[in-house]
């Protein structure tokens, strides 16, 4: 006896691959009858040929279409009066209503654009994931042209909504925005660049984007015509150049792209959205703000610059390190050097400049005090030790050297300090088992215990959640 004796089964897409072997197996296991479906009659016929004809019925139908489901139902009802098993073997991605396109192909194409890859890379990814290849390149490019206006219109709708949200959150049309730019290729030689503005009131969303291009594909293509040096080619070239919508919109150095894009977005904000961007959060390294200040997109309004903590901390640390290096071992007016106990030590740098190691640790602990309870205690002990440590810290000459040589590479300096610090602490930690809640509460609160709670949009103390 087989496992499926006397059963009636439907296997969609049962004409090939997994569907076909399933149909064969069902019959081998004693199934009384198997219905298989597929969209192409010749493939269905091929499949029936290799099975016991009396036990198989092929139905030409597309399982993703409602009308075809009715056809399938009628045939099965008439022939066998019902079903015991349905094997939903999806043989293809659903079709987009009113089109011959398949959902998966369009998604793949969109995914390519969102991640900045083109047809060749999509092919590689599909192969690596053992998926069928994407659309053939010619059709892919044709679809791209259809995709673009839809994506563009969606983008502008999304950005308009973001502006409305920002206005209602800020209760004014004078908004605070944050901006940043990017290049297609890293460095100052990029041919293309882009910048985006993000609303700071309400949830952060992109409100406007702008791109800079130093080249145009159509212009480049047309120039190749001129190689033949005939009057005909010249005429064709002139025609293309005068009629095409040129993609080139920028002829300054690439380093100016971010500032130029941002200025454009400020200049059009009133006309486009009826808002002004009166406060700007940007990184201190870029020249964007000085351009905004000089060009005055809103005539009499002075745009205010807000510092972003990250960049502020980085610059502060940089400046302090330069001062420390310049002072070296020279005695200051009070007869002491700049380093040493209670002076400008590495620990003081870290405190002043928002030591990222501490900051991240605090955030992690505050995320889940429940689960990280023991970790939190340990953390508090470390903090207490560190407070003691920095109070008694004596700057050695060796430390001075490290600081000086690494001053230009801020990221690495703090990482090294951090690693060294935790190693020392961990080795001491084993013998220290006196920490408990009471002691934790005795600790002085300072800025290092604060973390930013994105939900309440407030700076909170990491202990408040207890
Ligand atoms: Zn052009």
Stronger pLDDT, 326 or 160, i.e. the higher one: 160
Cα 22 to Cα 260: distance, rounded to the nearest angstrom: 62
Report how far ligand 1's centroid is from the alpha carbon of 245 (Å).
6
Contact 166, 203 (CB under 8 A): no
The residue-averaged pLDDT of 120-136 equals 86
Ligand 1 centroid to Cα of residue 162, in Å, is 32
Start-end ranges of CATH 3.30.420 in the chain?
158-214+250-306
d(Cα 393, Cα 347) in Å, to the nearest integer?
9
Could you report the per-residue pLDDT of 168-205, keeping only the tens digit for each? 999 999 999 999 888 888 767 889 999 999 998 777 88
Check whether 251 has a pLDDT greater than 50.
yes
Distance of CA 342 from the midpoint of ligand 1 (Å): 64
pLDDT tens track for 329-367: 888 888 888 888 778 877 777 666 665 545 445 545 554
Hunting for tokens 């340990």 — which residue is that? Answer: 378
Rounded to the nearest whole angstrom, what is the distance from the C-alpha of residue 346 to the centroid of ligand 1? 55
**DSSP string over 38-60:** ES-HHHHHHHHHTS-GGGEEEEE
**If we measure between CA atoms, which residue out of 407, 314, 386 comes closest to residue 355?**
314
End-to-end CA distance of the chain: 64
SS3 203: coil
- Ligand 1 center–CA 185 separation, angstroms: 20
- Centre of ligand 1 to C-alpha 191, Å, is 14
* Confidence category of residue 307, pLDDT binned at 50, 70, 90: confident
For CATH 3.40.50.720, the residue range(s) in the chain are: 8-87
Of 120, 55, 67, nearest in space to 95 by CA: 67
Strands 192-199 and 206-213, by their bridges, are: antiparallel
* E-state strands within 146-303: 174-183, 192-199, 206-213, 276-282
CA of 214 to the centre of ligand 1 (A): 10
| Cα 244 to middle of ligand 1, angstroms | 7
The pLDDT value given to residue 374: 53
Task: Please check the confidence at residue 423 and state whether its pLDDT lies above 70.
Answer: no
Tokens read off for 434: 């006196």
Burial 84-123 (b: 16+ CB within 10 A, else e): eeebebebebeeeeeeebbeebbebbeebeeeeeebeebb
93-97 long-range Cβ contacts below 8 angstroms, 24+ apart: 94/64, 95/64
Cα of 38 from ligand 1 centre, angstroms: 48
Highest mean pLDDT pick, 66-70, 76-80, 143-147: 76-80
Q: How far is the centre of ligand 1, averaged over its atoms, from the C-alpha of 198 (Å)? A: 30
Mean pLDDT computed over 233-243: 91
Cα of 307 from ligand 1 centre, angstroms: 39
- The count of other CB atoms within 10 Å of the CB of residue 465 is 14
Cα 235 to averaged position of ligand 1 atoms, centre (Å): 16
Contact between residue 215 and residue 247 where contact means Cβ atoms under 8 Å apart: yes
Lowest mean pLDDT among 19-23, 68-72, 454-458: 454-458
CA of residue 243 to ligand 1 center, whole Å: 9
The pLDDT of 62-71, averaged and rounded, is 84
Tell me which DSSP letter residue 452 carries.
E
* Ligand 1 center–CA 223 separation, angstroms: 10
Separation of CA 401 and ligand 1 centre (Å): 55
Three-class DSSP labels, 115-138 = HCCCHHHHHHHHHHCCCCCCCCHH
Q: Which pLDDT does position 107 carry in this prediction?
A: 86
Q: Ligand 1 centroid vs 151 CA: distance in angstroms?
A: 22
ipTM: 0.98
Ligand 1 midpoint to CA 190 (Å):
17
The verdict on domain 8-87 having CATH code 3.40.50.720 is yes
Cβ atoms 218, 282 nearer than 8 A: no
199 alpha carbon to ligand 1 midpoint, in Å?
Answer: 33
DSSP state of 29: T
Least confident of 49-53, 148-152, 388-392: 388-392
Distance 261 CA to ligand 1 centre (A): 19
Q: Give me ligand 1 centre to Cα 119, in Å.
A: 23
CATH architecture of the domain with residue range 158-214+250-306: 2-Layer Sandwich (3.30)
Q: What pLDDT, on a 0 to 100 scale, did the predictor assign at position 347?
A: 74
Calculate how far, in angstroms, residue 217's C-alpha sits from the geometric centre of ligand 1. 6
CA of 141 to the centre of ligand 1 (A): 19
Q: Residues 34, 83: contact at Cβ < 8 Å?
A: no
pLDDT digits over 102-125, tens only?
888 888 888 888 888 889 999 999
CA of 240 to the centre of ligand 1 (A): 9
311 neighbors 280 (Cβ within 8 angstroms): no
């Amino acid at each position: 006896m087989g496992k499926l004796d006397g059963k009636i089964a439907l296997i969609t897409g049962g004409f090939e691959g997994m569907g076909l072997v399933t149909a064969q197996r069902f019959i081998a296991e004693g199934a009384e009858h198997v219905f298989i479906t597929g969209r192409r009659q010749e493939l269905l016929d091929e499949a029936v040929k290799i099975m016991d004809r009396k036990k198989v019925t092929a139905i030409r139908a597309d399982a993703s279409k409602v009308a075809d489901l009715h056809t399938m139902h009628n045939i099965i009802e008439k022939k066998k009066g019902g079903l015991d098993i349905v094997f939903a073997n999806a043989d293809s991605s659903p079709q987009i209503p009113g089109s011959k396109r398949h959902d998966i192909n369009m998604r793949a194409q969109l995914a390519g654009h969102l991640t900045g890859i083109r047809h060749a890379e999509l092919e590689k990814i599909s192969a690596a994931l053992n998926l069928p290849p994407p659309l053939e390149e010619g059709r892919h490019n044709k679809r791209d042209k259809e995709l673009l206006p839809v994506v563009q219109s969606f983008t502008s709708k999304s950005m308009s909504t973001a502006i409305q949200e920002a206005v209602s959150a800020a209760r004014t049309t004078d908004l605070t925005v944050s901006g940043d730019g990017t290049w297609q290729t890293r460095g100052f030689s990029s041919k293309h660049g882009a910048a985006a503005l993000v609303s700071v009131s309400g949830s952060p969303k992109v409100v406007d984007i702008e791109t800079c291009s130093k080249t145009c594909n159509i212009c480049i293509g047309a120039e190749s015509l001129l190689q033949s040096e005939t009057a005909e080619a010249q005429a064709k070239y002139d025609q293309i150049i005068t009629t095409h919508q040129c993609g080139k919109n920028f002829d300054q150095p690439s380093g100016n792209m971010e500032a130029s894009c941002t200025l454009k977005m400020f200049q059009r904000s009133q006309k486009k959205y009826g808002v002004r961007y009166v406060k700007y959060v940007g990184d201190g390294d870029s020249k964007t703000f000085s351009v905004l200040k000089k060009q005055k997109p809103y005539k009499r309004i002075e745009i205010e610059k807000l510092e972003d903590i990250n960049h502020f901390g980085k610059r502060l640390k940089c400046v302090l390190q330069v001062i420390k290096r310049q002072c070296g071992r020279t005695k200051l007016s009070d007869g002491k050097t700049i380093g040493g106990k209670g002076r400008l030590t590495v620990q003081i740098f870290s405190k002043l400049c928002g030591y990222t190691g501490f900051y991240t640790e605090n955030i992690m602990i505050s995320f889940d005090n429940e689960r990280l309870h023991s970790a939190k205690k340990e953390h508090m002990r470390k903090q207490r030790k560190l407070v003691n440590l920095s109070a008694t810290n004596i700057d050695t000459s060796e430390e001075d050297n490290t600081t000086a040589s690494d001053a230009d590479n801020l990221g690495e300096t703090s990482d090294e300090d951090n690693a060294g610090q935790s190693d020392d602490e961990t080795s001491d930690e084993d013998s220290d088992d006196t920490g408990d809640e009471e002691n934790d509460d005795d600790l002085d609160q300072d800025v290092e215990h604060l973390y930013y709670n994105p939900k309440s949009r407030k700076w909170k103390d990491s202990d408040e959640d207890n």
